[in-house]
Amino acid sequence: MLIIGPPGSGKGTQAERISDRLGVVAISTGDIFRANVKGETPLGIEARKYMDNGDFVPDAVTNKMVRSRLSEEDVDGGFLLDGYPRTTAQVDYLDAILANGGQQLDVVLQLTADDEELVSRLLGRAKETGRSDDTEAVIRHRLDLYHQQTEAVVARYAERGILTRVDGIGGIGDVTDRVMGAIGNPVPASVASGR
């Protein structure tokens, strides 16, 4: 499963809750990048140049990281990717990884929210967490990138008939309930196959 949404739509929070309910691992590319930035690894030092300005980390770097993460054993029973793919080139790359592993996406969830609501949420979050990419100019740039590049990703999955849209505005629990209703409570692959 994938979860896609503009910055501030609560996708990270919802990804954790949904993955708990479905019993599958949540993988957030933003979290992996932030952990690498914090640890000052070569990947983190490279990623930071882009993240601080609200730009996408280049596809080649991001794709390689995702391929390596998806080769770990904990994804065997299914996974929820949060924040990837964000470009159509990443969609093609993910298709190839999944085809290679004989896997397929069951559902792509898009969380929706109005831009001005997102800006005010993110400015609030900036005060609490001090994330370096939560200034107003950077927030607006991240929203622009979402509209320019990630909406094309959403369109690709809509064409395939696996896209579900859920309104991301409301209480955290309400949004989770909406999501679980919308995706029809699928049985985790590990349970369905009796593993």
86 is catalytic: yes
Largest CA distance in the chain: 50
Q: Which of 21, 125, 156, 178 is catalytic?
A: 125
Angle between helices 59-69 and 42-51 (to 10 degrees): 130
Cβ-proximal residue to ligand AMP, closest one = 30
Q: Is 21 a catalytic residue?
A: no
Amino acid, single-letter form, for residue 148: Q
Q: Measured from the CB atom, is 66 or 166 closer to ligand AMP?
A: 66
25 vs 189, beta carbon nearer ligand AMP: 25
Q: Supply the minimum distance, in Å, between the C-beta of residue 53 and ligand AMP.
A: 8
Q: Is 51 in the site for ligand AMP (CB under 6 A)?
A: yes
Whether 183 and 109 have beta carbons less than 8 Å apart is answered as: yes
Active site residue 11: yes
8 binds ligand AMP (CB under 6 A): no
Residues 78-117 touching ligand AMP, rule: CB under 6 A, are: 83-86, 90
At residue 15's C-alpha, the angle toward residues 170 and 186, to 5°, is 100
Q: Catalytic site residues?
A: 11, 86, 125, 131, 142
Binding interface with ligand AMP (CB under 6 A):
7, 29-30, 33, 50-51, 54-57, 62, 83-86, 90, 133, 142
